[in-house]
Amino acid sequence: MLAILACALWETRAWPAQSQFFPLSIEIPVLCLLLLHLGTAVKNMFRSKPAPQGGVFGGNEQRSEAGQNVVRRRTVVIQCWIVFFFLGIWLLGFKVGALVLTFAFLRLAAHESWRLSAAFAVMSYLFFLVVFDFALHVPLGAGRIADYFELNSLDMYLVGPIVSALRRMVGA
């Protein structure tokens, strides 16, 4: 997690100050919490008395092992999703990455319906579009794919004409 956070912090170094505000407002508290957690974990490693091994279900060894396996599996799954979100936002940009990965997470990991997954994905996209692009005028990164091909944000080729038409209607 610290490595992912370090990569995310490194990516924001060349952004304009307005664009850095949102990621830094998340990354700095997360960094503090990660360092606190790391310190606690290191401290517990050197304790003379081992932590109790009761597990989720109590003292039964078989259940305790099964409970620990479930916890381990869930931990690995959520860490993989964190990496997927990081890579998706890095490659596709914040808005498109949030749209695609919110849908993927809800559909594949949470096993939600297509309709609910699509609705929440579109709502997350619209939230970032309306709040950061229109209300705050904070440019969010276009993503490495768009940067590589020297394009604007990938979503603007679809959303841009719609927004322009709406602005003309409102302004007229």
Q: Where are the domains of the chain?
A: 1-51, 58-171
Return the number of other C-beta atoms located less than 10 Å from residue 152's C-beta: 11
What was the pLDDT predicted at 39? 87
Q: Is a pLDDT exceeding 90 seen at residue 61?
A: no
Q: Is a pLDDT exceeding 90 seen at residue 116?
A: yes
Say which residues have a Cβ less than 8 Å from residue 96's Cβ, sequence separation at least 6. 125, 143, 153, 154, 155
What was the pLDDT predicted at 56? 47
Dig out the tokens for 30 from the structure: 């997360």
Inter-residue long-range contacts of 123-128, CB under 8 Å, 24+ positions, other chains counted: 124/98, 124/99, 125/95, 125/96, 125/98, 125/99, 125/155, 128/94, 128/95, 128/98
The highest-confidence range among 76-85, 127-136, 145-154, 155-164, by mean pLDDT, is: 76-85
Pair 142, 94: CB distance under 8 Å: no
* 9-13, 55-59, 83-87: least confidently modelled range: 55-59
What was the pLDDT predicted at 57? 47
Average pLDDT of the chain to the nearest whole number: 82
Rounded CA separation 97/111 (Å): 19
Q: Is a pLDDT exceeding 80 seen at residue 65?
A: no
Q: Give the distance from CA 117 to its chain's centroid.
A: 16
Q: Is a pLDDT exceeding 90 seen at residue 107?
A: yes
Q: Is a pLDDT exceeding 50 seen at residue 87?
A: yes
Tally of CA atoms within 13 A in the half-sphere of 134 that contains its CB: 14
